[in-house]
Amino acid sequence: MNEDGCLLIIGGDEETRHRKDILQRFVDLAGGPERNLVLLTSASAEPEEMAAPYHDILSQLGVRRHASVHTTTREEANDAALAERIAHADGILITGGDQKRLMANIGGTALDRALHEALKRRCACLAGTSAGASAMAGHMLASGFAEFEPEKGAGVLGAGLGFVQHVVIDQHFSQRHRINRLLSVIAQNPYLYGLGIDEDTALVVERGVGIEVIGAGGVTFLDGRGMTTNAADIDNGERPELIGVQLHVLPSGSGYVLPGQGGQAVRLAHVTREAPAPIQEFISNLTKRNPLS
Known catalytic residues? 130, 172, 199
Distance CA(105)–CA(91), nearest Å, equals 21
218 binds a second copy (CB under 8 A): yes
> Which residue lies nearer to a second copy by CB, 52 or 249?
249
* 196: amino acid identity, one letter: G
1 binds a second copy (CB under 8 A): no
Say if residues 37 and 88 touch (Cβ distance below 8 Å): no
Concatenating the DSSP letter of every residue in 90-154 gives SEEEE--S-HHHHHHHHTTSHHHHHHHHHHHHS-PEEEEETHHHHTTBSEEEEEE--SSS--TT-
Distance CA(61)–CA(234), nearest Å, equals 52
Q: Which of 47, 132, 150, 162 binds a second copy (CB under 8 A)?
A: 150
Distance CA(254)–CA(213), nearest Å, equals 5
Distance CA(191)–CA(186), nearest Å, equals 8
Q: What three-state secondary structure class fits 202?
A: strand
Binding mask 61-100 for a second copy (x = CB under 8 A): ----------------------------------------
Distance CA(55)–CA(179), nearest Å, equals 33
23 binds a second copy (CB under 8 A): no
End-to-end Cα separation, the chain, in angstroms: 23
180 binds a second copy (CB under 8 A): yes
> Which residue lies nearer to a second copy by CB, 2 or 246?
246
Count, residues near a second copy per rule CB under 8 A? 34
CB of 147 to a second copy, least distance (A): 8
Q: Which of 140, 161, 214, 245 binds a second copy (CB under 8 A)?
A: 245
239 binds a second copy (CB under 8 A): yes
Q: Which of 132, 138, 196, 217 binds a second copy (CB under 8 A)?
A: 217
With 0-12 / 13-18 / 19 or more C-beta atoms within 10 angstroms meaning exposed / middle / buried, residue 62 is exposed
Binders of a second copy among 105-124, rule CB under 8 A? none
Q: Which of 249, 259, 272, 290 binds a second copy (CB under 8 A)?
A: 249
258 binds a second copy (CB under 8 A): no
> Which residue lies nearer to a second copy by CB, 18 or 292?
18
214 binds a second copy (CB under 8 A): no
Nearest to 228 by CA among 213, 214, 211, 240: 240
Q: Which of 59, 73, 228, 272 binds a second copy (CB under 8 A)?
A: 228
Say if residues 7 and 60 touch (Cβ distance below 8 Å): no
Distance CA(292)–CA(163), nearest Å, equals 9
Q: Which of 57, 93, 202, 242 binds a second copy (CB under 8 A)?
A: 242
CB of 293 to a second copy, least distance (A): 26
For a second copy, the binding residues (CB under 8 A) are: 147-150, 174-175, 177, 179-180, 183, 198, 217-218, 222, 228, 238-252, 254, 276, 278-279
